[in-house]
Amino acid sequence: MLFITYEVLLGFTAQGRVISAFTFAEYAAHYAVNICFFYVHGYLTYPLVANRKTPGRYFLILLLIAVEFVVYVGAMKFVAYLLYEINDPKFIFLNVYYWGYLWRFIYFMLIGTAIYYTRTAFKHETRIVILENERINNLLDQQLLENKLIKSENAWRQSQLNPHFLFNTLNLIYNKVSVLSPEIGDSIIKLSEIMRFSITPLSNSGKIKLEDEIEHIRLFINLNQLRFNDKLALNFEVTGEEEGLMINPLLLITLVENVFKYGDLYNQEDPASIIINITGSILSFNTRNHIKKRKVSSHGIGLANVTEQLKTYYPNQFEFLYEERDSVFDLSLTINLAADDQVLLN
């Protein structure tokens, strides 16, 4: 509409008039042809040929222009027939009209072609912006992951006591107590091993060996059994080969602690269970326990914290399910530990 208004005003400025005997019909008919040609050429036929990557693309473009010109002139002659020949049998279609049609054809063809390349360039720039935004978002996600990794390591370090003071103190207590009670001395040794585990250096990726994490769980269970005179009803099983695999620290032990905190470990008829199975790089961790009748307050960590860690360090590479039914709590965790290494590397 803007373009038509521009041409009408331009013609009025040049000739000093707007109307003629068939002004409205002429404008309507001729612009109908020009509008159809403009959109068909700029949005359909020319993009169809120009987007080809074949060596003969330019020949096809020339062939297309020739075909479009023939169709355009035919449409204009049909318009002339409707406007002039029907109303004036003496009307003669002069050859000079062809030059006018050629000019209008070239005019609208160039505008349509320019619109096509403008749209193509805009889409290309838009695609570049989208790809750049995706790259920046990936960098931000990677930086966020690294920041969480650093925070996790800092929290790990902050939870440690002075190791020299701790082990010297435990060694002193062990020397004093082991003579009087070997059982208590054994408890001190296990506690010392657990605390030694807590200051084990992390790998560059912030991980620890899976075998160390499992050994930590084993020591934790043994220490609690000593604490309660081996009266805890708990089955602990590990199957598969854990060597060479790495895992986030304190991930599994948190779930084990939940069993001790919320589980009824005195039910000898239906003992609690902690089952670990490793198949290749797939770790399966399952727990089952009756829930204590006496409610234990939660400190807002535990399962929610584990879920957050899993989403951060094992995105789309884990399955974490748990439910409470008939006072029995079942938990199942499956992680692809090898895929986690690839996420960190990327």
| Residues 27-85 pLDDT 10s | 788 888 889 998 998 888 888 888 887 788 888 888 888 999 889 888 888 887 777 76
CA 113 from centroid of its chain's CA atoms:
38
Give the closest residue to 37 by CA, choosing from 10, 11, 68, 66: 68
**What are residue 16's phi and psi, to 5 degrees?**
80, 10
Report pLDDT for 299.
46
Instruction: Give residue-wise pLDDT tens across range 18-30.
Output: 544 445 777 788 8
Residue of higher predicted confidence among 214 and 250: 214
Question: In this structure, are residues 38 and 111 in contact, taking their beta carbons and an 8 Å threshold?
Answer: yes
| pLDDT value at residue 20 | 47
Q: How confident is the model at residue 321 (pLDDT cuts 50, 70, 90)?
A: very high
Helices 182-198/210-227 angle, 10° precision: 150
Query: Which tens digits make up the pLDDT trace of 106-145?
Result: 888 998 899 889 988 998 888 898 999 888 988 888 888 8
Q: Computed over its alpha carbons, how large is the radius of gyration of the chain?
A: 40
CA pair distance 45, 67, nearest whole angstrom: 11
pLDDT for the residue numbered 22: 44
Phi and psi, residue 19, nearest 5°:
-95, 155
pTM, entire model: 0.48
- Residue 330 has a pLDDT of 94
Q: Over the chain, what is the mean pLDDT?
A: 80
Dig out the tokens for 181 from the structure.
């009670």
CB 108, CB 33: distance < 8 Å: no
What confidence score (pLDDT) does residue 290 get? 93
Q: Which of 228-242, 251-265, 300-314 has the lowest mean pLDDT?
A: 300-314
Lowest mean pLDDT among 13-17, 151-155, 171-175, 297-301: 297-301
